[in-house]
Chains A and B, each alone.
Chain A
Amino acid sequence: MFINQFLIFAAVLFCIGVYGVLTRKNGVLVLMSIELILNAVNINLVAFGALHQHVAGQVFALFVIAVAAAEVGVGLAIVLLIYRNRRSINVAEANLLKG
């Protein structure tokens, strides 16, 4: 079983996700980058589950998928709220609070 290729793929996906979260200004794209991070996690979990012949990894991945759906649901609701009030989903413009 070649575990490395899955781990490297997941690590690359994770790095792309982190880069996206840190550089993207569009709220929806930030959420999509977070989805990439969570998918990297799922690949890791399933690959390790297959390596160890252990079912908990796949169960964990199912939980992550379900919770990610809830997180994105709430996240999009908040982004929509921002859009309604200021006609923009640029997260860099949300700078009323500072200090």
Chain B
Amino acid sequence: MIEFVRPHIDWHAFAPELIVLFWGALVTIVDLVFLERARRIMGPLTGIGFLLAMIPVLTLWDQADDLPRVLFDGAYVVDNYALLLKGLFLISGYVIVLLSSNYMAEGDYYDSEFYQLIGASILGMLVMTSARDLISIFIALELLSIPAYLMAAWRKRDLKSNEAGLKYMLMGVFASGILLYGMSLLYGAAADTRLSEIGAALADGESTPLVTLGVLFTIIGFAFKVSAVPFHTWAPDTYEGAPTPLTAFLAVASKTAGFVALLNVVLFAFGDQSDLVEPFMWILAAATMTVGNLVALRQTNIVRMLAYSGIGQAGYMLAPLAVYGNRPAQAQQAVVIYLLIYAAMNLGAFAVVIIAARKTRSGEIESFGGMLRYAPGITLAMTIFLFSLSGVPPMGGFWAKFWVFKVLTDGWELWGTLLALVVAVNSVVAAFYYLNVAKQMWFLPTRDGDESPLVIPPALVAAVAITVAVTLITGVTGLVPDWADFPALAAAP
């Protein structure tokens, strides 16, 4: 008989997750008790929950000397890397609630449940940032994915939305099956589920078939989640068919969570398997950015274009992982900086798409024609997002690309430099389709001739204001690298 010893739990380190969990329960109870009467306050209530959960994130960040805080025997680690990403997920969750509020209320969908599912999914992402154990990574991945399958099919009567949900669900479940098979092999090779122990067991860099299969299947499982080519086919269809706020959620929060999982596994468990992982990542990154950008060139629907552009951007984010072997800390920093800036500029672009669709009722790029005449402020905001996405200097997107280049060309090794060239060529290609949208907005006439000023709901104005502010501040000050300095990994051998 083994005596049960209650493990020590650092409640403060665990507080953001607990707040989102209990607030989600509260929102559900409010919905159950007040039914229709509470419908109008559901969105704001969920948003307040995300902002409340920011408080412990900030207090933990303030006590930087106590970091990293390790829970559950190393299965759950709260360090400044995890905290920065928790902040990113909570703010993105808040912005997505702002984007959803009018869309949901006016479309006559079930909105209370939608917000509860967003809360559940964000909780999964918060857990993902700290998960350093195969079991918790798997649980976090499913907790963030399963609500998203439901939300993608949210417009029940719409065949396109049904199809979006079906494709996303089948591909997602299939991917998690492959991921789990890889994880089971890794567990077999290392006899432990903690990433640090797996890293120690694979430290000799020797590749038995068991390890090779385990590593590749695990990476392929996450490649579906971050929509890397050739595992990207679900993304454009799901993005087009799903409700647009949910598309923003998938393109930003869900993709970021996939990258966080990939970073955790690659950096903490596969640190000494770089001979195997780097070439695979090189091919994945080069294929992802090239295919994404080339296909985006010929899209006529703005949401599909943003979907393929998101695939291209995912390629840039994968690139630092192709050279992580010698400089894991810089690779980690480059990916996290890109994720932060990408979240702001892409959420902003989707916010503008939602605003424009309120007038034009269309997703075609041509429907953006003449926006300058009826919504000058939004036109300016969209121009900032597009310039940032294509990486033009004073915007945040420039710094995101700059740090990717810096880590790729550090030391001018052959393969890293080649990949930097691929990134450069792709950035030029991408500028064509981003600037085409800007051209429509600034120089072409409106399609229906109606140029009366557009009335924009305050929630959407707030969403655009937050994302513009982040894009500009990160761009002008170049501030993010100071926050994204992760001593834990740099100190590790």
Contact sample, A vs B, 8 pairs, CB 8 Å cutoff: A37-B174, A40-B181, A48-B184, A56-B192, A59-B135, A75-B149, A78-B162, A81-B162
Asked if A97 contacts B191 (CB within 8 A), the reply is no
Distance in angstroms between the alpha carbons of A27 and B228 in the assembled complex: 25
Q: CB-CB < 8 A to A9: which residues of B?
A: none
Partner of B173 from A34, A64, A91 at Cβ < 8 Å: A34
Q: CB-CB < 8 A to A1: which residues of B?
A: none
Partner of A77 from B150, B236, B237 at Cβ < 8 Å: B150
Distance in angstroms between the alpha carbons of A67 and B142 in the assembled complex: 7
Query: Does A12 sit within 8 A of B, measured CB to CB?
Result: no
Name which residue of chain B comes closest to A72, CB basis. Answer: B173
Asked if B193 contacts A60 (CB within 8 A), the reply is yes
Q: CB-CB < 8 A to B150: which residues of A?
A: 74, 77-78
With most chain A CB atoms within 10 A of its CB, the pick from B160, B187, B241, B299 is B187
With most chain B CB atoms within 10 A of its CB, the pick from A40, A47, A54, A75 is A75
> B23 to nearest A CB, angstroms?
22
Asked if A78 contacts B149 (CB within 8 A), the reply is yes
Distance in angstroms between the alpha carbons of A12 and B43 in the assembled complex: 48
> B156 to nearest A CB, angstroms?
6
Query: Does B138 sit within 8 A of A, measured CB to CB?
Result: yes
A85-99 vs B, Cβ < 8 Å mask (1 yes, 0 no): 110000100111111
Asked if B163 contacts A99 (CB within 8 A), the reply is no
A sample of 20 more A-B contacts (CB under 8 A), given A71-B142, A75-B173, is A10-B184, A14-B181, A21-B174, A34-B173, A37-B174, A41-B184, A48-B184, A51-B188, A60-B184, A63-B139, A64-B180, A70-B146, A71-B146, A74-B169, A78-B153, A82-B163, A85-B162, A94-B167, A96-B159, A97-B241
Partner of B135 from A21, A56, A81 at Cβ < 8 Å: A56
Partner of A44 from B157, B181, B241, B301 at Cβ < 8 Å: B181
Q: CB-CB < 8 A to A41: which residues of B?
A: 177, 180-181, 183-184
Distance in angstroms between the alpha carbons of A72 and B409 in the assembled complex: 46
Distance in angstroms between the alpha carbons of A60 and B75 in the assembled complex: 13
Asked if A85 contacts B236 (CB within 8 A), the reply is no
Distance in angstroms between the alpha carbons of A40 and B191 in the assembled complex: 18
Partner of A81 from B138, B142, B165, B192 at Cβ < 8 Å: B165
Interface residues of B in 161-217 (CB under 8 A from A): 162-167, 169-170, 173-174, 176-178, 180-181, 183-185, 187-188, 191-193
Asked if A99 contacts B299 (CB within 8 A), the reply is yes
Distance in angstroms between the alpha carbons of A34 and B169 in the assembled complex: 11
Interface of A is mostly: helix
User: Top 6 A-B pairs ranked by shortest CB distance?
Assistant: A37-B177, A44-B184, A48-B188, A97-B237, A52-B191, A41-B180
Q: CB-CB < 8 A to B165: which residues of A?
A: 78, 81
Instruction: Tell me the count of chain A residues lying within 8 A, CB to CB, of chain B.
Output: 46
Partner of A97 from B135, B164, B176, B181 at Cβ < 8 Å: B164
Q: CB-CB < 8 A to B156: which residues of A?
A: 81
Q: CB-CB < 8 A to A75: which residues of B?
A: 149, 169-170, 173
Query: Does B17 sit within 8 A of A, measured CB to CB?
Result: no
Distance in angstroms between the alpha carbons of A17 and B178 in the assembled complex: 10
Q: CB-CB < 8 A to A27: which residues of B?
A: 166, 170
Query: Does A79 sit within 8 A of B, measured CB to CB?
Result: yes
> B131 to nearest A CB, angstroms?
13
> A56 to nearest B CB, angstroms?
5
Distance in angstroms between the alpha carbons of A12 and B13 in the assembled complex: 43
Given A34-B177, A44-B188, A70-B146, A63 contacting B166 (CB threshold 8 A): no
A49-70 vs B, Cβ < 8 Å mask (1 yes, 0 no): 0011010110110011001001
Partner of B240 from A63, A74, A95, A97 at Cβ < 8 Å: A97
Q: CB-CB < 8 A to A40: which residues of B?
A: 181
Q: CB-CB < 8 A to B176: which residues of A?
A: 71
Q: CB-CB < 8 A to B139: which residues of A?
A: 63, 67
Asked if B191 contacts A48 (CB within 8 A), the reply is yes
Q: CB-CB < 8 A to B169: which residues of A?
A: 74-75, 78
